[in-house]
Amino acid sequence: AQSVAQPEDQVNVAEGNPLTVKCTYSVSGNPYLFWYVQYPNRGLQFLLKYITGDNLVKGSYGFEAEFNKSQTSFHLKKPSALVSDSALYFCAVRGSQGNLIFGKGTKLSVKP
């Protein structure tokens, strides 16, 4: 069965520092991987995706993610965090019907 794991419930970062939100996946075949962000009382917003090609994927709001097949990971990164990046981040893998299978989420807190 396909699944993703987000090992950290919360990540705390100081503004201006680099951030990493971790995600590992388990799939049969080639994975389609996604990152979404959720602000309070808002729906999920697409950040970026990996389908094929370059292992480093660039997305919205300065975020990027690195696909690592040998480590089955797809960590989300940003070189310099902003206070406004504070939100809930979800990693997801595409299921057989095109549905998304989500991790439990990681709360990112960026302090000034």
- The contact set with another protein (CB under 8 A) reads 32, 34, 36, 41-46, 49, 51, 90, 92, 94-95, 97-105
DSSP state of 68: E
Q: H/E/C letters for each residue in 24-79?
A: EEECCCCCCEEEEEECCCCCEEEEEEECCCCCEEECHHHCEEEEECCCCEEEEEEC
- The pair of three-digit structure tokens given for residue 49, joined into one six-digit string: 């995706």
Q: How many CA atoms lie within 13 A of 108 on its CB side?
A: 28
Nearer to another protein by Cβ, of 15 and 94: the residue is 94
C-beta of 16: minimal distance to another protein in Å? 29
Nearer to another protein, 82 or 88 (CB): 88
CB of 18 to another protein, least distance (A): 25
Which of 77/94 has CB closer to another protein? 94
The tokens for 79 are 């070189």
Tell me how far, at minimum, the Cβ of 69 lies from another protein, in Å: 19
**Least Cβ distance, residue 96 to another protein (angstroms):** 9
Where do we find the tokens 């999920």?
44
Residue number with CB closer to another protein (45 or 84): 45
